[in-house]
Amino acid sequence: MVYTSEQKAFLLESYFRNGEKVNGVWKYSIQPCLEEFREAFPEFSGTLTAVRYREEILTPFIEELHDEELRDGLFQQDGATAQCTAETSDFLRTFFDDRIISRNTANDYPPRSCDLTPCDFYLWPRIKNPIFVTPIPTIDELRRRIQQKINEINENPLELTNGLNSVRRRCVMCVEQQGRHFQQFL
């Protein structure tokens, strides 16, 4: 089952809508977002198994990739159980060979490493921090602000490139710190 643009937008909006300011810092949890999503789209309820992950997420994603992305691209995912089964790794290897960054692969990815994941250290803060500078009165305003920030990022390829290129610097720092916390040194 492929996510429609409406469902993708719903997830993003729900994620931001369920934020909570704690001691002056915005905190987010995916759980309320998932609960809202399952209510709105009951066909997506249930556990994400390895089979569902391959059939409903990976296959449609891979079908959208261009030849050069399949030939030269890297595939990165976190260490969620459904993503790291032997069958899922074998499936991914048919498209990406050893260019997979994940748990239980040739390029083992450390668990819970948000400081090495571009979406966590670059994209989410780049989108959400400016959005919540002022209160958001309506869902339509939230949608407008999210779309505006995404458009700004898409229109500035140098900024996006710099954000993604910092992965190398972060990986070097992680190795230098022997896998310990290193965010404070950046």
Average pLDDT over residues 120-125: 79
In a domain, 134, yes or no: yes
Structure tokens at 150: 């995404």
Note down the domain range covering 158: 113-186
Specify the 3-state DSSP secondary structure of 27. Answer: strand
Mean pLDDT of the chain: 77
Q: What gap in Å lies between CA 75 and CA 44, rounded to an integer?
A: 24
Which pLDDT score is estimated for 12?
A: 61
Q: Are 74 and 67 in contact (CB under 8 A)?
A: no
In a domain, 183, yes or no: yes
Q: What is the pTM of this model?
A: 0.52
Residue 23 has pLDDT above 90, yes or no: no
Provide the number of structural domains found in the chain: 1
In a domain, 42, yes or no: no
The values of phi and psi at residue 102, to 5°, are -170, 170
Which pLDDT score is estimated for 91?
A: 95
Average pLDDT over residues 45-62: 83
What is the dihedral sign for C-alpha 46, 2, 49, 33? negative
Residue 52 has pLDDT above 80, yes or no: yes
**Strand order through the sheet with 75-76:** 75-76, 100-102, 107-108
Q: Are 107 and 98 in contact (CB under 8 A)?
A: yes
Which pLDDT score is estimated for 2?
A: 46
In a domain, 168, yes or no: yes
Highest mean pLDDT among 53-62, 86-95, 168-177: 86-95
Position 167, amino acid: V
